[in-house]
């Protein structure tokens, strides 16, 4: 299969196939007559595996490590478990941060509902943002996400 055919079978763009090939996740053969990259069913299975791994939040480097272990004949399952076990608390923390941000945004919108628009005057840039209390400097709340 050529790039476009593999992309079609996997339901991705040709650029996605090219990207994963450049990253070394897909390893096509070269047609000796014209130099085209040719992919077989093994590469289609790898591409579908990559897509599934991406839906679990794995990055290219992590997928590369998983594939390398599998290519050596070693089970990558312990690595996969470890990666997800490490990532899950980070994701939960990020969700908590985003929920706190959404609450601050909702509070700001409610507080600003009746405020008139201001014009920068040398002392004020945007009265709406300037009405928000400053973030504590003790690190109890992140200034930005």
Distance CA 124, CA 101 (A): 24
Lookup: tokens for 87? 């990532």
* pLDDT tens for each residue of 32-60: 888 889 999 999 999 999 999 999 999 99
What range defines the domain where residue 30 resides?
1-74
For the cut 80, the answer to whether the pLDDT of residue 15 exceeds it is yes
Half-sphere exposure of 57 (CA within 13 A, CB side): 11
pTM of the model: 0.72
Judge whether 86 lies within some domain.
yes
- What pLDDT is stored for residue 143 in this prediction? 47
Q: Compute the radius of gyration of the chain from its Cα atoms.
A: 24
Tell me: do 68 and 109 sit in the same domain: no
CA proximity to 44, closest of 31, 60, 25: 25
For the cut 70, the answer to whether the pLDDT of residue 5 exceeds it is yes
* CATH number of the domain within which 15 lies: 1.10.1660.10
Half-sphere exposure of 24 (CA within 13 A, CB side): 9
């Amino acid at each position: 299969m050529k790039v476009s055919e593999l992309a079609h079978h996997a339901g991705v763009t040709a650029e996605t196939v090219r990207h994963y090939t450049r990253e070394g996740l897909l390893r096509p053969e070269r047609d000796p007559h014209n130099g085209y990259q040719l992919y077989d069913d093994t590469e289609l299975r790898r591409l579908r595996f990559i897509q599934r791994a991406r839906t679990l939040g794995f990055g290219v480097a992590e997928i590369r490590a998983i594939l390398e272990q599998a290519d050596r004949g070693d089970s990558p399952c312990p690595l996969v478990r470890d990666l997800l076990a490490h990532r899950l608390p980070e994701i939960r923390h990020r969700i908590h941060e985003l929920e706190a941000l959404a609450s601050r945004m909702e509070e700001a919108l409610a507080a600003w509902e009746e405020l008139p628009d201001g014009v920068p005057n040398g002392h004020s840039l945007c009265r709406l943002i300037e009405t928000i209390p400053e973030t504590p400097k003790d690190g109890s709340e992140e200034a930005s996400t």
